């Protein structure tokens, strides 16, 4: 790859204040060689120079929760009956041809790149997303899902997961990682959680769990009531043990929470749960628009941040939110957490990287990190505002170009 030098009116490094008239030099190895004010960044001979005028250059965005294999399954807005929605989603997945998953994953990944997102943390069970990431030379963590609500399924589910992960390891690269996702407390038994977590610990695999998302999940674990409990009884599945635990406490008791664990949603969480997450070092993928679309309520974002919990932003799937727009999530998080623009934006750059344990490699424009960046044109009405506000006012259609390890992976075809 040839080296390239990018410049623009504003550069947002994410680990330092905004630079007016900034530049970024990405070396032939795809990593950042220099960054800073325009006059301080070298122009080595033979380097491709590109100036983006009034645009804002910022780190490639990090989406900490996607289901890219579900791209194309979106239909009606999800409604507020979560257990019923899960059942309908299972049926829609079963009706989709196996080869359609890879196609969906490729389209979903292309949509992410076009929206300035360079790294995804994705959960799925088809294996299509890790393949799509590897093919595209992408960046991310693909968490392979495992299901099994009946304790008797533990051995078979774990064996199938291990086999699947071994099979998919051929797609792992320097930038494409594999993890595991024991799906959710309403779809995985306590014994399967414990066994999967123990195996992931030995293998040093990252773990992602949908956690404390709906009131129905809390009713199942805390009181043995609600739609999931009724479904369990109807299918002869014993209710989770021990009873009377919040979802977060229940997972901690099964050894799931650690600094390798990404907890997705975490809406139904009180002060004790926040303290548990902080104590165990687990991180949170905050998905405010999905939580709202399903009627789950609002996650205690301010409490997470005050407790020092690592938090990134996630869109969840197109089935939940219609389209993937991480900056819309940042706007919602800003309101929910009472954050300033820079902090809200950091949730989809450096804080997102921290939530995934990847902050040494991505998340800010700093020498040595990967040359991942998005170039955003200020939308009408936002020109002249501080650059963080310009970015927060924008959306996927305002992304002029996206670079991944210095490669140009998206460029708008729209006339400015
Ligand atoms: Zn999800």
The sign one gets for the Cα dihedral 314, 317, 320, 322 is positive
Q: Over the chain, what is the mean pLDDT?
A: 95
- Cα–Cα dist 15/366, whole Å: 8
Mean pLDDT computed over 44-52:
94
What is the pLDDT confidence band of residue 318, given thresholds at 50, 70 and 90? confident
Residue 345 is part of a domain; what is its CATH number? 3.20.20.140
Kindly give the distance from the C-alpha atom of residue 69 to the centroid of ligand 1, in angstroms, as a whole number.
11
Taking the centre of ligand 1 as the mean of its atom positions, its distance from the CA of residue 21, in whole angstroms, is 39
* pLDDT for residue 414: 62
CA atoms within 13 A on the CB side of 111: 22
Q: Does residue 377 register a pLDDT over 90?
A: yes
Angular region, 183: left φ>0, alpha ψ -120 to 50, beta rest: alpha
pLDDT surpasses 70 at 70:
yes
DSSP labels for 286-312? E-HHHHHHTT-----HHHHHHTT--EE
- Would 67 be classed as within a structural domain? yes
Helices 98-114, 128-135: inter-axial angle, 10-degree rounding: 50
233 and 109 assigned to the same domain: yes
The pLDDT value recorded for residue 203 is 97
The pLDDT assigned to 92 comes to 84
| Statement: residue 156 has pLDDT above 60 | yes
One domain, residues 42 and 101: no
pLDDT band at 175 (very low <50, low <70, confident <90, very high): very high
Per the domain annotation, does 131 fall within a domain? Answer: yes
Q: What is the pTM of this model?
A: 0.96
Number of domains in the chain: 2
What is the per-residue pLDDT for 380? 86
Q: What is the dihedral sign for C-alpha 384, 388, 389, 392?
A: positive
Q: For residue 135, what are the domain limits?
A: 61-355
**Per-residue pLDDT reduced to its tens digit, 244-291:** 999 999 999 999 999 999 999 999 999 999 999 999 999 999 999 998
Has residue 416 got a pLDDT over 60? no
In a domain, 55, yes or no: yes
Mean pLDDT, residues 66-77 = 86
For residue 111, the CA-to-ligand 1 centroid distance in Å is 18
In 3-state terms, what secondary structure has residue 207?
Answer: strand
User: Which pLDDT score is estimated for 177?
Assistant: 98
pLDDT of residue 98: 83
- Distance (Å) from CA 253 to ligand 1 centroid: 22
Same domain, 157 and 134: yes
Ligand 1 centroid – CA 320 distance (Å): 9
Residues 309 and 231 in one domain: yes
| Residues 242 and 379 both lie in one domain | no
Tell me: do 184 and 55 sit in the same domain: no
Q: What is the mean pLDDT of residues 361-370?
A: 98
pLDDT at 415: 54
Q: State the pLDDT at residue 384.
A: 86
| Cα 123 to averaged position of ligand 1 atoms, centre (Å) | 7
For residues 101 and 24, state if they share a domain: no
pLDDT confidence band for 13 (50 / 70 / 90):
very high
Domain membership of residue 416 (yes or no) is: no
Output 415 or 196, whichever has higher pLDDT.
196
Task: Please give the distance, rounded to the nearest whole angstrom, from the Cα atom of residue 345 to the centre of ligand 1.
Answer: 21
C-alpha 325 to ligand 1 mean position (Å)? 15
Question: Same domain for 202 and 298?
Answer: yes
Distance 40 CA to ligand 1 centre (A): 43
Cβ-based neighbour number of residue 234 at 10 Å: 8
Centre of ligand 1 from the C-alpha of residue 286, in Å? 11
Instruction: Give yes or no: residues 178 and 96 share one domain.
Output: yes
What is the distance between the alpha carbons of residues 376 and 416, in angstroms, rounded to a whole number? 11
pLDDT score of 87 more than 90: no
In the chain, what is the straight-line distance between the N-terminal and C-terminal CA atoms, in Å? 28
């Amino acid at each position: 790859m040839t080296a390239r030098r990018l410049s623009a009116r504003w550069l947002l490094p994410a680990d330092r204040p905004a630079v007016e008239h900034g530049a970024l030099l990405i070396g032939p190895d795809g990593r950042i060689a220099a960054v800073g004010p325009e006059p301080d960044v070298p122009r080595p001979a033979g380097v491709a120079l590109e100036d983006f005028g009034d645009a804002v250059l910022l780190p490639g965005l990090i989406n900490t929760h996607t289901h890219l294999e579900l791209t194309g399954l979106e239909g009606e807005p999800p409604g507020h009956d979560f257990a019923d929605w899960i059942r309908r989603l299972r049926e829609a997945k079963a009706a989709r041809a196996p080869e359609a998953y890879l196609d969906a994953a490729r389209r979903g990944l292309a949509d992410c790149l076009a929206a300035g997102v360079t790294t995804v943390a994705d959960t799925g069970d088809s294996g299509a997303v890790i393949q799509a990431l590897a093919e595209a030379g992408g960046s991310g963590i693909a968490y392979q899902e495992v299901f099994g609500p009946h304790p008797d399924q533990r051995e078979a589910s774990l064996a199938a997961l291990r086999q699947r992960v071994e099979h998919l390891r051929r797609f792992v690269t320097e930038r494409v990682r594999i993890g595991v996702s024991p799906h959710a407390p309403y779809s995985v038994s306590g014994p399967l959680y414990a066994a999967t977590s123990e195996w992931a610990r030995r293998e040093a695999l990252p773990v992602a769990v949908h956690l404390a998302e709906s009131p129905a999940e809390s009713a199942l674990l805390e009181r043995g009531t609600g739609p999931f409990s009724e479904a369990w009884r109807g299918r002869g599945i014993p209710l989770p043990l021990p009873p009377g635990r919040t979802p977060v406490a229940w997972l901690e008791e099964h050894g799931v929470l650690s600094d390798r664990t990404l907890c997705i949603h975490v809406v139904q969480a009180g002060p004790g749960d926040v303290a548990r997450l902080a104590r165990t070092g687990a991180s949170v993928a905050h998905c405010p628009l999905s939580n709202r679309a399903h009627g789950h309520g609002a996650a205690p974002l301010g409490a997470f941040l005050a407790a020092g919990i690592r938090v990134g932003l996630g869109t969840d799937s197109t089935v939940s939110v219609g389209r993937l727009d991480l900056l819309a999530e940042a706007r919602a998080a800003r309101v929910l957490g009472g954050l300033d623009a820079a902090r809200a934006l950091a949730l989809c750059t450096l804080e997102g990287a921290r939530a995934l344990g990847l902050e040494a490699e991505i998340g800010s424009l700093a020498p040595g990190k990967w040359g991942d960046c998005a170039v955003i044109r200020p939308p009408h009405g936002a020109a002249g505002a501080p650059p963080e506000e310009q970015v927060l006012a924008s959306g996927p259609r305002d992304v002029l170009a996206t670079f991944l390890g210095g490669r140009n992976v998206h460029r708008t075809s729209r006339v400015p």
